[in-house]
Structure 1
Amino acid sequence: MSNQDWSEPSGPHQPPGPLPDGSIPVYASHPLPGTPGGGPPLPQVGWGSEFGGGQHHHRQHIGPPPKRSTNDLLVSLLLLGGVAALLVIAALALRDGGSAAVAPATGPALTAPTAPPDDSTGTPASGQSSQDSEKIVTADAFYATGAQRGVGCRQPQVALNSQATVQRYYTNLVGCLNKAWAPKVQAGQDKFAAPRVIFWSGTTQSPCAGGSPVSFYCGASQTLYLKYSDDIKLWNRSADSANRAFARMWATYTVAHEFSHHLQQLTGILPAANRLEYEAPNRQAELELSRRVELQASCLGTAFMGANKSTYGITGSDLTIYRRYVEAQTGDENNRGGPRDHGARTSHQYWTERGFNTLNSTNCNTFTASASKVS
């Protein structure tokens, strides 16, 4: 699908198209966050605290990795030191006045998960071979559960300018995701459990890492850690409708992506991918597996968005902003100096379009795709 396949909104707030010189349109004296070539780039979904191995992942690796040579160990230590320096810089840049509030979500839609399966921590099942893991990530029954159906959820009409309103927005969205995905997980012969949800700002702790500058998912606790302060900053950066649409669509995309890591956890895809990463023969193969995991999460997240776009209100200006700035501008290019572990902009656009347009989990099987599709 090309970028011209969606309709432009009408009215006085219609966002302009690309300028004649190809540059990005400017709103309120600066480009929207995440756009190339100007303004502070928006942190990528889960591009933050590294959960194991010094990598830019938002999932946990537990258990002993395979033995590595002395040279591999030296390279890993150097990479880890570089990442640590980047994290200090990112943490300082994203501080919001020292707030460290951690607010667990409540309500029937956000109940704690039932007793987790043996591999729920992210640890590959004991005795699981590489062949077993390969079969899970490429041919799990979850892929054959058919197209996603709309569940009639509606986007709350709230301003994302306070902790209370952002939590209300997210609580509703996670409830919608639970309702949409539970039948699919069960149809794939797996047990569905709603994720825990923790809202936070400043700093937070999890079983997966000592801290993170952005929202993330932790498989060890089956918890979504959602940083509400970033959404408030996006909402308040400009009062115009384009920036407000961006804030809503980024929030929706972020939660749908992180929730998709929970789906990968429940179906066994994430633990199996962790095993394959541990046994990867080199850094390049390891990063490619990471990109397959992340691009799949983006694809599954947008399958939900596409299935519910009418009732949820991903239409008009919101759809335009989503297509032009969230879908088209997300990628490792924004993670300046970081590893290529989530996927290039072209790859993200390819997989998010597949999810949004086809609504089908089978079309989100990144583990059977060619290397060029997960660059």
Structure 2
Amino acid sequence: MGVGAVLGTVFGSIAALFVLIVIGAAMIGGAKESRTTTPIAIPTLSPYDEPTRRPDRTSSERPSTDSSREPSTEPSTEPSTGPSPTRTQDEEPDREQEVDPPAQVTVNRSLKNNTVYRAGALPRLRCRAGNVSIFSHSQLKSLILRTGRCMDQAWGQILRKQGIPFSPPNYAIVAGRGRGACGDYPAAGSMVPYYCPRNNTIYASTTAMAKGNGNARGYGQIISWHGGIISMMAHEYGHHVQNITGLMDSWWARTLDSTSQSGKLALNRRMELQATCFGGMWMRSVAGTYPVNSTNRNQLFFFYSQVGDYPGFPRDHGSRANNNRWFRQGWLKSQAYQCNTWMAASSTTS
């Protein structure tokens, strides 16, 4: 074999080895990326049929001091801990907080790569609703508190596994109206419940939710089955999840940094639609025992095509089509990362 042939063989071998090293490095890099990059939620669902008649103002309304469903030009209360809410005789007293010891892992509290997205699906728990009338304060209040304990079990289980300290929210449920740490409930001309991050409390008026308030239709005038109201309470519980996982703090920081009103509203929509997706996850998790049959499931899907932003009001909660899209996203895909609205296309959070 000549010198040229030998050199050719040597250099060919070196070149082949270099190619193998490059390919190997790329494979290792890809493997690392797959372990550290949060999967992106890509809603592929078509919007539910739009209603042919514009209903009265429903759940697109929210007090300016919370992250529930009522119009607001911009958030006005920074999420923080604070004193317990003032209770009336009709309200449920504070429940004891279960605070975990400090986690042994580093918890990511950002919007796009939050640790909650690794939590997976909610466990299928036995959570029976029974035969409840939403027009009875005592029955509806009891159902809200009972299903709230189911939400505690479900969310607490998957959050603790990720090293996220968990504590349940408080509830303040009245028949008429009251004043909470984040404002009146219901607000004037509103019927929606709200979550107050200042004291981790969900506030609601059973009469307003069922029958409406002023010109605002009640949820019971859209869907008389109690699952509609409970799904909204699951939405408010979703805000509690956002609060204890750091999503709410990160959202607020981004909101303060935003220099435009449209930017603030866009952030608020992603926040609200994520809570709706979390609510869809929970309703699916109890579908077998609540129960939620196919007829009631379709009622829920229709219900979420009726709530959202309407012309003439601030675009702070997302269109009706996108509210429906993200509720069904949580229901059908049932994985926490599938509710990552912060990495979703803006067209799905408009």
Give yes or no for contact 2:73–2:265 (8 Å, CA) kept in 1: no
Q: 2:59 aligns with which of 44, 54, 68?
A: 44
Q: 2:110 aligns with which of 136, 146, 158?
A: 136
- The one-letter code sitting in structure 2 at the alignment partner of 1:273 is W
Q: 1:202 to 1:361 in 2, by over 3 A?
A: same
Give yes or no for contact 1:102–1:204 (8 Å, CA) kept in 2: no
Secondary structure at 1:275 match in 2:
helix
**Could you list the runs of 5+ residues in structure 2 that have no partner in the other structure?**
1-44, 80-86, 102-107, 213-219
Q: Which residue of 2 aligns with 1:105?
A: 92
Q: 1:115 to 1:148 in 2, by over 3 A?
A: closer
Q: Which residue of 1 aligns with 2:240?
A: 262
- The one-letter code sitting in structure 2 at the alignment partner of 1:180 is A
- Number of equivalenced pairs: 282
In our comparison, the structure showing a higher alpha carbon Rg is: 2
1:201 Cα offset (Å): 4.2
Cα deviations by residue, 1:181-210 (Å, 9 ceiling, x for unpaired): 101221232211111000124432222235
1:243 Cα offset (Å): 6.4
1:217 Cα offset (Å): 0.4
TM-score of the superposed pair, with normalisation by structure 2: 0.71
Q: Which residue of 2 aligns with 1:148?
A: 122
RMSD: 3.3
**Could you list the runs of 5+ residues in structure 1 that have no partner in the other structure?**
5-17, 19-23, 25-34, 64-99, 118-133, 235-241
Could you tell me how far apart the structure 1 residues matched to 2:208 and 2:194 are? 13
Secondary structure at 1:332 match in 2:
coil
Give 1:1-375 correspondences, 5 Å limit.
1=45, 37=53, 41=56, 43-44=58-59, 47-51=61-65, 56=72, 61-62=77-78, 103-105=90-92, 111-113=95-97, 136-211=110-185, 212=187, 213=190, 214-233=192-211, 246-324=224-302, 326-333=303-310, 337-375=312-350
Secondary structure at 1:356 match in 2:
helix
Secondary structure at 2:90 match in 1:
strand
Give yes or no for contact 1:60–1:208 (8 Å, CA) kept in 2: no
- The one-letter code sitting in structure 2 at the alignment partner of 1:254 is M
1:102 Cα offset (Å): 6.0
- The one-letter code sitting in structure 2 at the alignment partner of 1:297 is A
Structure 1 segments (4+ residues) deviating >4 Å:
1-4, 52-55, 57-60, 114-117, 242-245
Could you tell me how far apart the structure 2 residues matched to 1:55 and 1:3 are? 23
Secondary structure at 1:224 match in 2:
strand
Could you tell me how far apart the structure 2 residues matched to 1:58 and 1:200 are? 27
Give yes or no for contact 2:269–2:317 (8 Å, CA) kept in 1: yes
1:316 Cα offset (Å): 3.5
Secondary structure at 1:111 match in 2:
coil
Could you tell me how far apart the structure 2 residues matched to 1:249 and 1:58 are? 30
1:3 Cα offset (Å): 7.9
Give yes or no for contact 2:210–2:221 (8 Å, CA) kept in 1: no
Could you tell me how far apart the structure 2 residues matched to 1:318 and 1:58 are? 35
1:246 Cα offset (Å): 3.6
Identical amino acids, percent of aligned pairs: 22
Secondary structure at 1:270 match in 2:
helix
